[in-house]
Amino acid sequence: MQKNMDIILPPPPTRFQILLASNSPRRRELLNMIVPDYRLASGHDTEETYPASIPQSKVPEYLSQIKAAPYLTELKENELLITADTIVLHRGTILGKPVDTSDAQNMLKSLCGNTHHVITGVTLTSTEKSISFSETTTVNFGHISDYEITEYIERFKPLDKAGAYGIQEWIGCIAINSIEGCFYNVMGLPLHALYLKLKEF
């Protein structure tokens, strides 16, 4: 007979009650790996636009700050809000979420045989202070056929993903040669860096 065993949760990285403001199911799953007892913040839609004067590498941080702004008047003293944004930077162009399947195909074709950078910006906000940081992962993307690109888009519907792909999905197995940096960052949340920042906060 199998004995009942208590589930041992990891120690919380901070004294705050963590809130996550994100519609991304991947970010929710990732945060759960280091903060099992966080809560979702009530939804606020923000327009993800940025001034042309901002350096491309700083765009994710800027957008994570913009996402945090609507919650500032709602936070309680014991709460800490996490907001994040991820972009793919390829050949001096920011690739966001594709607008349709044709756009997704074009993005993936441009990535084939090339190296690109995935940058995630994160903002931590409490009633007392706010800090922002970003993490960059270099991804070496191999060659895949037009057929494989079409199959991936039809099966996995990556229109909600920056750069039109998810590294944790089938395409990550067949197309990505190697990465330099945090794997989870490519999924949408740099867990190691985030954990350290939460401890410092």
Q: CA 61 → CA 72, 93, 136, 143, 154, distances in Å? A: 17, 17, 12, 31, 31
The single residue of 45, 85, 100, 160 carrying the catalytic annotation is 85
For residue 45, indicate whether it is catalytic. Answer: no
Give the position of tokens 């999905």: 169
Q: β-strand 115-125 against 130-141: which pairing, if any? A: antiparallel
Which residues are designated catalytic?
Answer: 85
